[in-house]
Amino acid sequence: MLLRKARIMFQISSAMNTELKELAIALYEIDALKFGEFVTKVGLKTPVYFDLRVIISHPKIMARLAKTLWKFAEEYSDIAQICGVPYTALPLATLISVNSNIPMLIKRKEAKAYGTKKLIEGNFKQGDRCVIIEDVVTSGSSILETVHTLRKEGLKVTETFVVVDREQGGKKNIENHGIQMRSLYTINTLMAYLLESNKITPKIVKEVTDYLLKYQAPIISVQDKRLRTPFHVRANKTKNAIASKLFNLMEAKQSTICLAADLTKADAILELADLTGPHIVILKTHVDIVEDFSDDFIKRLKELAKKHDFLLMEDRKFADIGNTVSLQYQKGIYKIAEWADLITVHAIAGQSIVDGLRNGLKNISEPRGLFILAEMSSKGALTTGEYTQGAVSIAQSSDMVCGVVCQSNIFPNLGLIQLTPGVKLSKSSDDLGQQYNTPETVVNSGADSAVVGRGITEAQDKLAATLEYKKELWAAYQKRVSTQGFHLLSCSN
């Protein structure tokens, strides 16, 4: 049985290899790929040029290419939408949509100036899984721009199917944003097919290989605008009053510290809050570990928050159905809704958890906000891939949400705050899987506010430690927003 299965797999692989070789030759013969000396749209010289626009004049080759590319979809069962990157990939996406009977979306390069003024054409619903079709990838910027637009509309985007990977860093850029890229060809495999068929010479192969080694696309991020924009500007971009207050608070105090006061005695927390209060923007608690919790403790904590101008966050990590979290938020001995400006929430229950928490505020007049957990700092955490993308989608669609708890720059929204835990002055880890990164590392990875815990609470001089974290985090933020943009290497596509 195993031998028979192995033979079948070999036959399939062999047939696919033959198909790809024949298609490579066909593309070469219609001048869809050329070797020589060319100048790109940004003035760079290149020895290889791809022009897959010509396939519209060769319908048989175009149909064959679309059919072969869509074989990647056999591994997935829940694809609900197809989107071709404008404009070269649109004919391929259209053929795939017709042949597979899966709806297609079109992303405009610019919004309409009339009517709905929308960027996405087509019928879809939030949560639909969408596959991106692209012809050629160099830096990956076109795909990432498309991903950004689709995710803003609540679509799940985790895969892209590509004809040619130019092997200049685009695949890494794309996968760094949580997108799996599958390509029919790399430049090297294309050249191998063409060399074997005597279409090109070893000299051409060497010239192209040397070029690829010399010219690599930079690491890019469609979220760089968020990282470059100052807090006072972003304060006007948020849908949540507490988020706006936090942005302005960070700017005014020149501090981004969220202090994790994970202590078990009320007096110890109050003493820490009074000492560090002038230099932090959030005091984060786990009230269920406080052994002598009382209403008086909360009263005194609120007084200190007002005195030193910081926000209170209860790191409750709500993770249940709407009705249950509504009760957990407003009832019980802790009555969190009455005093916590901010709370943390898992996305595991979906949008209903946000609705439940909103219901828990029906008797509260003060503004409140929540942070959605998209990534965690513990080693081996399962908050990855589609889960992370789903969490970000919830965060971007609700005015209850202040921001996202995550480890990396995974969302573009200027009005959302990235809160990153696991910060220490030196990179390290503990015996229970918690991983720590330096202030500069987390800020460069997108952190707007950083959670500092044991680096302060276990320091001999807690005030001195607080001041050191405050200084380093703020310096990293200032460096981030002052850094000028970069120029993308856009070779031929």
| Residues acting as catalytic residues | 317
List of residues 6+ apart from 69 with CB closer than 8 A: 92, 96, 133, 161, 163, 184
Check: CB of residue 334 under 8 Å from CB of residue 293: yes
Check: CB of residue 229 under 8 Å from CB of residue 414: yes
Tally of CB atoms within 10 A around 44: 13
What does DSSP assign to residue 434?
A: B
Query: Which residue reads 């608690």 in tokens?
Result: 285
Opening angle at CA 254, ends 427 and 372, nearest 5: 65
Tally of CB atoms within 10 A around 87: 11
DSSP 101-169: T--EEEE-SS--SSTT--SEES---TT-EEEEEEEEESSSHHHHHHHHHHHHTT-EEEEEEEEEE-SSS
Query: Hey, what amino acid is at 475?
Result: A
**Phi then psi for 21, rounded to 5 degrees?**
-65, -45
Burial of 282 from C-beta contacts in 10 A (0-12 / 13-18 / 19+): buried
